[in-house]
A = this chain, B = another copy of it.
Amino acid sequence: MSDTESALLNELVVAFKCLPSVGARTAQRMAFHLLEHDRENGLRLAAAMQNAIENIGHCSLCRTLTEHSICRICSDKSRATETLCVVENPSDVLAVEQATAYRGFYFVLMGKLSPLDGIGPDELGLDLLEKRLEDEPIKELILATNPTVEGEVTAHYISELAAKYNVNTTRIAHGVPVGGELDYVDSSTLSHAFDGRRNY
């Protein structure tokens, strides 16, 4: 990918590459598209980006991304205070809200335990979680971290934390996806599905 004739355009192309799954060619296509066809929306995007980055911080209760000190879910008085669902990312909150009837509160780790990357309990705000387990009338802590190695380790660590405060922990079920077929599912998932079988 060679440089264009314009230094500002080259800078823009390089800057676009910070977006996920945007390589040199896509970055160039995006830059040309904005400059040739969509300058107005480009300015709007630049402003929205700056505005979001400068004003969005973390909810002081659940750590999700929000421009308020307490996010909309945490300030919703109608929610059940006795359940708390632990997820890795803000997008997981969205997914759970959309797919399930769960109407308790959340705690967003903004990551998962990964000592090699220097991500320990402090980086995940587990001191904040511990404080909530101590202070709030939480009866069930739902561990909804991803079923990856790090996600499982994180879930295990948090369950031990919860045990200290006599809070019951549950883990979301792992098994054959609905609509899936047994012979297409990997062996680890199928093994989980058998271990987690229930009375019919």
Write the residues of chain A forming the contact surface with B, with a CB cutoff of 8 angstroms: 2, 4-9, 11-12, 14-16, 18-21, 26, 28-36, 38-39, 41-56, 64-67, 71-73, 89-91, 93-94, 97-98, 110
Cα A11 to Cα B50 in complex, Å, equals 11
Contact A42–B28 (Cβ < 8 Å)? no
Cα A40 to Cα B14 in complex, Å, equals 14
Contact A90–B53 (Cβ < 8 Å)? no
Please judge, given known A-B contacts A5-B71, A5-B72, A64-B5, whether A52 and B94 are in contact too, CB under 8 Å: no
By a CB distance below 8 angstroms, the chain B residues around A14 are 48
Cα A110 to Cα B35 in complex, Å, equals 11
- State how many copies of this chain the complex holds: 2
By a CB distance below 8 angstroms, the chain B residues around A5 are 64-66, 71-73, 90, 93
- Give the secondary structure class of A's interface: helix
- A sample of 29 inter-chain contacts (CB < 8 A) reads A4-B65, A4-B94, A5-B66, A6-B65, A8-B51, A8-B52, A9-B52, A9-B65, A11-B51, A15-B44, A15-B49, A18-B42, A18-B44, A19-B30, A19-B33, A20-B29, A20-B33, A28-B91, A32-B91, A34-B53, A35-B53, A35-B56, A35-B65, A36-B110, A45-B46, A45-B49, A46-B49, A46-B53, A49-B49
